[in-house]
Structure 1
Amino acid sequence: MQARSTDTHAAIYCRISRDAEGDGEGVERQERLCRELATRLGLNVVDVYTDNDIGASDRTSTTKQRDAYARLIKDARSGRFHHILAYSNSRLTRRMLELEDLIQLHEQSDVIIHTVASGDDDLSTSDGRMVARIKASVDAAESDRIAERQKAAFLHNALQGKPKLQHQRAFGWERDGITVNPEEAALIRAGVERLKQGESVTTIARDWERQGIKTAAGKDEWPWQTLHRVLVGWRTAGVRTYKREPLRDSTGELVMGTWEPIISLKDREDALAMLRKRGLKKVRQGKWYLSGMVKCGVCGGKMYGQLGKTRTYTCKPGKGHNVITADTLESEVQWEVINHYVDRRTQGRDKDAAPQQDEEWPKQNELDAANAKIEELMTAYHSNELPSSVAFPMIDTQEQIRQQLRKERDDFLAQRAEPKTPLDLETWYDKFLLEEMAAIVPNEEPDSFDRKTLAMRQVVETVIVKKGLRGRAGWGDAGAKRIEIVWRG
């Protein structure tokens, strides 16, 4: 039996892995039993260290650190107490490496560990340390079994479409994760329509902040990632996710949640396509109306906006051999858009235009094959033809192939995406004449900038800038003559 320290100062450590109700009842019960043990042993409890709703195994998320346990060990090393009481060994740790730390703690500081349910292991002897290590290995194995059961239960619930249990409610739904919040759902649908028109997530975020719309956590600011997830996350379209990826059944079909979706999958795809198109064109909010649209008439390279004493569009591939002031270019293009629009209205071209045909993605057969292979492997696993150790590594390989193909498909579609709910050019034209005239204000409100830019991009394919003349010959109307607009069909 290990020698008993003459110091009666003791500390209690309590921990519970999952506190579903959040009331801490489990750790309170552990503390009560430990205090009863301390009384029987004649120990004086000087402090209680509690980690609630945190695991102690190697499978515990690194984001859930046991801060109380770390303080317990630190205070024990400093000599504040020489006895540690816990309900069981597994409450202290399920990690073999942490057990070795406790053994070292006893050797260096003469700290003795007492438990209510697991007894006292004599860490001063080789047999005692062996017993403690055996118990720890059993606890670690039990932790692995619990994790496997939980993983199977989580997957089972996910395949049934049940919502994930979350401490924070999802914006757009009530606390149960199923009932839709009408006011927030209306905001989401309106935001998605704005994305489909070509507006940015940042623009909508600033607009919501000006309106005083708070996040589900009650915060005033809307970070880009938060709003992007709210507007076009899989949950918003009613799709159940697993490990942050959309879940598919054995046939490769998306698993739909038991909650009511706020937007359709088609709305989500259209909104994401327009966002990707903005990214491909490198649209710069609030500064450059023609970003990604201007080409050099000398070398054919792209011309980029540059800030200096004067805002300009410059040909970087040609090392600055072609430059035009931004005000001249943007103003001229804006007026040409108006004239072009008037011509189209007069000639009735908008009404007679043939609908654009969707181009098929050339690798669809490869994606279908990957889906079929995953379905085949899942079927073999469920029918016990393949063990999980064989089936799931093969499924992971096919899933990587499928994800890469989906990314290629999304990029392909994004390059060909057009606004699904286009702005009314007639309304924009009238508003422009009445309120804006030819002035382009670089620092205007983002939503106004986005709408003007979108209106121009609906009819302008490319703006070609020819080489300018030197000296005064290049001033005035000569700048407008350098510009050639390629219109959309």
Structure 2
Amino acid sequence: MARKVGIYTRISRDDEGESLGVARQQQDCERLTDLRSWQAVKVYEDNDVSAFKRNVVREDFELMLKDLRAGLIDGIVAYDLDRLARQPRDLERLIEIFDERPRLEFATVTNDINLGTPDGRTMARIMVAFANKSSHDSSRRIRRKHFELAQQGKDSGGPAPYGWRKNDRTKVDPEAAAAIREAQREILAGVRIGTIRTRWQEQGLGNPRAGTKRMAHHHVEHILTNPRLVGYRTYHGEILYGEDGRPIPGNWEPINTVEEWEAVCAAVAERKQKQPGRSLARKYLLSGIARCGLCKSKIRGQTNPRWSPGSKAAKFTYRCSVVNGGCGKVGRVGEPIDRLIAQLVLEEQRERAAVTRVPMEQQWPGEAELADVEHDIAQLVEAERAKEISVATLLQLLPGKERARDELKLKRARFYKEQKQAEAKEDAADLSVEDFFSLPIERQQEIVLHSLSAVIIHPAGRGRRKFDPSLIEPVWH
């Protein structure tokens, strides 16, 4: 009976996302299994995954070890030993399984190593040690090269970040840039990153390898706050500064102005400080805004279990709940209340905009002061380089200037955040009711809270009654 073996394939980088490298490895391994008269029952593939980086989990490698230990497969075929392991600890885990099951098979396309014998294991350990050293040497050279490129403001290559053309990382992709700017406006208007992520996932946006992986929350946040958006060169995630104390500009087209980018970064940071670790998701417009007309407790929306598409039952209700500390005596159908409040709020904001629209100050008033501080820092650094002052004097004067610069930058970010947020929220005056309900729920709530502090829902009495707007009391600011 033919021995059942697993084929393991891996490649560290697959920039095109087409899996051609692992496909070639699989073909060569299948030829080898045919020559050995083995039966390949499963292919374990870790495409675009490093075996050298310690913080990387190779999912199919881990699954292969489990299957091997459980006896589901009788051996492994790989293209080369370094496809399996570049860290000695991974090799030792594999050797431990071969110790437990001496009759396991092992073969590689490029050479013959028998992990079932002491000599084979010794040779494997030597080969992995050399592969590990080679990876260390390559990593060191690559880091040095990337740092040198970063200091020159040059790009480091690799897949183009979202927002720039795939075939030219220096040129902006107009469609992606428009999606980023729209998402940034939503952030300033109160929309959650989670809502943007869900929409991007459905539309196939935001991921340079769309369809291959589920987009993570932090990935979307990074796209919207990336210093690259304003042309700043980064190194290991941090903005790289030149000898003059200014950010090093990159050799690519920016998507944002500094003011736009700082406003978004400040809005994201502020939200994290206000609600650390707490979900801001809402399902119904007036959840947390509506209050019971009898006990004044907050009312939240509840799905009607009897509702289904096409039925006449209400889709959801606003109900005072005893569980949340209320009296439990008030409950109303939700949709007509939402529509009434949307109409009232939009009408109020249109009237207010027509009368009280005041032009906002466009330029932050501290720009000249910040420029002077940055100039002082550059002069101090240049004076030390020219031996006009000592290092000790520089280190005595520099920290105070740097603190002043950072404080001014923080004030600038707050100024533009508030300005951009006000601009984003003023757009509501031009919305129709249908446009209003097409917005994300967080944006709808921001518009309502711009005009109202609460909505009091009064009881309607017993039995089925026609909707009475007079029993819905908006509390205006």
Which residue, 329, 341, 344 being the options, matches 1:335? 344
Determine what percentage of the aligned residue pairs are the same residue: 21
Q: Distance in 2 between matches of 1:135 and 1:209?
A: 43
1:319 corresponds in structure 2 to: 326
1:427 corresponds in structure 2 to: 430
How far is 1:186 from its partner?
3.3
Matched, 1:63 2:58: yes
Would the alpha carbon gap of residues 262 and 302 (structure 1) be closer, same or farther in structure 2, given more than 3 Å must change? farther
SS of 1:261 mapped into structure 2: coil
How far is 1:455 from its partner?
4.1
2:174 corresponds in structure 1 to: 182
2:439 corresponds in structure 1 to: 447
AA in 1 matched with 2:298 = M
Would the alpha carbon gap of residues 195 and 142 (structure 1) be closer, same or farther in structure 2, given more than 3 Å must change? closer
Cα pair 1:19 1:52 within 8 Å, conserved: yes
1:268 corresponds in structure 2 to: 261
How far is 1:179 from its partner?
2.0
Would the alpha carbon gap of residues 412 and 306 (structure 1) be closer, same or farther in structure 2, given more than 3 Å must change? farther
Would the alpha carbon gap of residues 420 and 344 (structure 1) be closer, same or farther in structure 2, given more than 3 Å must change? closer
1:40 corresponds in structure 2 to: none
1:463 corresponds in structure 2 to: 454
Cα pair 1:236 1:263 within 8 Å, conserved: yes
SS of 1:179 mapped into structure 2: strand
Cα pair 2:114 2:121 within 8 Å, conserved: yes
Cα pair 2:165 2:171 within 8 Å, conserved: yes
Written as runs of structure 1 = structure 2, the 5 A alignment for 1:376-395 is: none
Cα pair 1:161 1:257 within 8 Å, conserved: yes
Q: Distance in 2 between matches of 1:284 and 1:107?
A: 51
Per-residue CA distance 1:403-434 (angstroms, 9 max, x = gap): xxx99x99999899833344356534xx46xx
Cα pair 1:79 1:109 within 8 Å, conserved: no
Q: Distance in 1 between matches of 2:46 and 2:212?
A: 31
Cα pair 1:12 1:45 within 8 Å, conserved: no
Q: Distance in 2 between matches of 1:246 and 1:103?
A: 41
Q: Distance in 1 between matches of 2:187 and 2:282?
A: 14
Matched, 1:305 2:330: no
Cα pair 1:169 1:175 within 8 Å, conserved: no
AA in 1 matched with 2:422 = P
How far is 1:260 from its partner?
1.5
How far is 1:288 from its partner?
1.2
SS of 2:454 mapped into structure 1: strand
Would the alpha carbon gap of residues 46 and 73 (structure 1) be closer, same or farther in structure 2, given more than 3 Å must change? farther
Would the alpha carbon gap of residues 215 and 147 (structure 1) be closer, same or farther in structure 2, given more than 3 Å must change? closer
Worse-superposed segment, 273-282 or 183-192: 273-282
How far is 1:137 from its partner?
4.5
Q: Distance in 1 between matches of 2:130 and 2:427?
A: 69
Task: Give the number of the structure whose alpha-carbon radius of gyration is greater.
Answer: 1
Q: Distance in 2 between matches of 1:69 and 1:96?
A: 17
2:388 corresponds in structure 1 to: none
Would the alpha carbon gap of residues 161 and 293 (structure 1) be closer, same or farther in structure 2, given more than 3 Å must change? farther
Cα pair 2:86 2:132 within 8 Å, conserved: yes
AA in 1 matched with 2:56 = S
Q: Distance in 2 between matches of 1:222 and 1:74?
A: 30
Would the alpha carbon gap of residues 357 and 287 (structure 1) be closer, same or farther in structure 2, given more than 3 Å must change? farther
Cα pair 1:16 1:54 within 8 Å, conserved: yes
Would the alpha carbon gap of residues 220 and 210 (structure 1) be closer, same or farther in structure 2, given more than 3 Å must change? farther
Per-residue CA distance 1:159-215 (angstroms, 9 max, x = gap): 554445445763542333222223433343344344444455677678779989896
RMSD value over aligned CA atoms? 6.8
Cα pair 1:214 1:220 within 8 Å, conserved: no
Q: Distance in 1 between matches of 2:352 and 2:50?
A: 70
Would the alpha carbon gap of residues 448 and 183 (structure 1) be closer, same or farther in structure 2, given more than 3 Å must change? closer
Cα pair 1:171 1:215 within 8 Å, conserved: no
2:476 corresponds in structure 1 to: 485
Q: Distance in 2 between matches of 1:122 and 1:344?
A: 78
SS of 1:288 mapped into structure 2: coil
AA in 1 matched with 2:256 = I
SS of 2:178 mapped into structure 1: helix
Cα pair 2:291 2:454 within 8 Å, conserved: yes
Would the alpha carbon gap of residues 306 and 449 (structure 1) be closer, same or farther in structure 2, given more than 3 Å must change? closer
How far is 1:261 from its partner?
1.9
Written as runs of structure 1 = structure 2, the 5 A alignment for 1:106-145 is: 109=102, 137=129, 139-145=131-137
The TM-score with structure 1 as length reference comes to 0.53
How far is 1:62 from its partner?
1.7
Cα pair 2:233 2:250 within 8 Å, conserved: yes
Would the alpha carbon gap of residues 131 and 172 (structure 1) be closer, same or farther in structure 2, given more than 3 Å must change? closer
Q: How many equivalent pairs are there? A: 407
1:287 corresponds in structure 2 to: 284
Cα pair 1:274 1:419 within 8 Å, conserved: no
Q: Distance in 2 between matches of 1:210 and 1:128?
A: 50
Would the alpha carbon gap of residues 76 and 159 (structure 1) be closer, same or farther in structure 2, given more than 3 Å must change? farther
Unaligned runs of 5+ in 1: 1-9, 36-42, 361-374, 376-384, 386-405, 437-443
Q: Distance in 1 between matches of 2:115 and 2:357?
A: 89
Unaligned runs of 5+ in 2: 304-315, 367-380, 382-390, 392-408
Q: Distance in 2 between matches of 1:52 and 1:476?
A: 61
The TM-score with structure 2 as length reference comes to 0.54
Q: Distance in 2 between matches of 1:110 and 1:180?
A: 57
